[in-house]
Amino acid sequence: MMGEGAIVPVGHIEQRILVIRGERVMLDADLAALYGVETKLLVRTVKRNIERFPRDFMFQLTSKEFENLRCQIGTSSRWGGRRYRPYAFTEHGAIMAASVLNSERAVKVSVYVVRAFVKLREILGAHKQLSQKLAELEKRLEGHDEQIAALIEAIRELMTPPPAAERKRIGFTR
């Protein structure tokens, strides 16, 4: 979805959004790349303005979380060689990072970052609605299973011929 004068396609940003600790986040290196700055500059600027980044805006990954992330991605080259654990930025943290960086590119790209987070939220909402509808359908059909089975059994009984009664033989017997 490239908008007029788009710097980065929203789809590209969506691929960088991860779920960590139940939050949709972007890692510092990915955010820095989008904003056109080095990761260390982003982190340094954020640390200088740490009062603007409460825990619901940004958090640092634990060693275990970072190791799990490396295993999931299958390679460490994307974030390899780091001396510190990465920081994860929520949607609000990503916007705040753009505001503290105060560069033209960061401000422009932040609009696309917000759109990517919103699009993912909409997609997840649609999946939740579908899941709820399926659950409702299952509940409605639960009682019908027995009724359907009874109906099939009745049809089978009608299809099977009645047991042959002892017939009197007609004709001569010896």
Looking up residue 75, the CATH number of its domain turns out to be 3.10.260
Contact at 8 Å (CB) between 94 and 31? yes
Tell which phi-psi region holds residue 80, choosing left (phi > 0), alpha (psi between -120 and 50) or beta.
beta
Number of domains in the chain: 1
Separation between Cα atoms, residue 43 and residue 95, nearest integer Å: 14
Asked whether residue 124 is assigned to any structural domain, the reply reads no
Contact at 8 Å (CB) between 132 and 76? no
User: Can you list the positions of beta strands (E) in the chain?
Assistant: 18-20, 23-27, 58-60, 87-89
> Which band of pLDDT confidence, cut at 50, 70 and 90, is reported for residue 10?
low
Domain containing residue 22 = 10-117
In Å, what is the CA distance from 54 to each residue of 6, 92, 112, 113, 138?
30, 10, 22, 19, 42
Asked whether residue 78 is assigned to any structural domain, the reply reads yes
Asked whether residue 18 is assigned to any structural domain, the reply reads yes
Q: 0.85 cut: is pTM over it?
A: no
For residue 50, what pLDDT is reported?
94
pLDDT higher than threshold 60 for residue 92: yes
Would you state the torsion angle of the CA atoms of residues 23, 24, 27, 30, taken in this order, to the nearest 10 degrees? Answer: 180
> Which band of pLDDT confidence, cut at 50, 70 and 90, is reported for residue 2?
very low
Asked whether residue 143 is assigned to any structural domain, the reply reads no
Asked whether residue 23 is assigned to any structural domain, the reply reads yes
Q: Is 110 strand, coil or helix?
A: helix
Asked whether residue 128 is assigned to any structural domain, the reply reads no
Percent above pLDDT 90 for the chain:
22
Asked whether residue 38 is assigned to any structural domain, the reply reads yes
